[in-house]
Amino acid sequence: MRSSGVLTFIAFCGCVPYVHSPSGRSFPLESAKALNPGETGLQLEGGGGFGENIAVGGVTARVRRGLVQGLDGNFEAGYRRIRVASEKYSLRNRNVYSARLGVKYAVTDDVALTAGLAGGGWTGGGFIGPDASLIVGYENPYCVPFFEFGAFASFPVRENLITLLDTGLSDDGDFVAAPTNTAGWTIGTGLRIPLSHKKDQNTKSALLLGARLRGAAFDNVPTGQRDHRTYFYGSGAFELVFGADRSGVH
């Protein structure tokens, strides 16, 4: 199967397969507001999406911790599974595993900057991937809309050759290639729906929904040219927030 990630890692353009390195994040959902110092957020997220003749689904577990006012740190672990929607090829090992450390700095409750570094593994070997984004939203007690504008990169580490097995319908036989360096962008939008409307300074547990476009640029091995693909995916999550001063006085 953000980082990340890029929504997909193996796909097809016409009859020509290609391979690129996965992103470090899968389906991130977060509004601009940082957790208050001492607050902890536990989030479980699931989602899926598609690109050209490919689909992916997966889950992410994330923990956030408020460090100082306007700054929280987070750790997440993700699992994705790839489905190649082509009758000509099949992929035996379709799993992607990743982990990421990151921070979010909230300039205000409505504007934040994030950055992180991820690593993981899949059938193409290991990879590392930095990412950064700008989040803009409108904080309120009822329904918080937010927009994300981000960039990422993914670099293979001790990469393995990937074999797409010919199902007997291709004239070219098995396709074998190594993943290539990948750079990309993300544009997304979502809603954070607090489960409590109490008007105090505490961060509320919430449901989150979102959708995004993600682009990936990479060296296309079969053609020898720089290529680009765009993917779409959606996701949903629940975040439980606890700790700090729940009386609303900070």
Q: Which residue has the higher pLDDT, 185 or 223?
A: 185
CA distance 3 to 93: 17
**Confidence (pLDDT) at 166:** 57
**Confidence (pLDDT) at 13:** 45
Calculate mean pLDDT across residues 50-69: 91
Calculate mean pLDDT across residues 109-125: 94
- Give the DSSP letter string of 70-135: TEEEEEEEEEEEEEE--SSEE-S--EEEEEEEEEEEEEETTEEEEEEEEEEEETTEEEEEEEEEEE
**Confidence (pLDDT) at 213:** 95
Calculate mean pLDDT across residues 90-114: 91
Q: Which of 101, 222, 138, 105 is nearest to 172 (CA)?
A: 222
Calculate mean pLDDT across residues 42-50: 95
pTM here is 0.85
Query: Over pLDDT 70: what percentage of the chain?
Result: 79
pLDDT of 26 higher than 60 = yes
pLDDT of 108 higher than 50 = yes
Q: Which residue has the higher pLDDT, 236 or 230?
A: 236
Calculate mean pLDDT across residues 178-193: 93
**Confidence (pLDDT) at 171:** 59
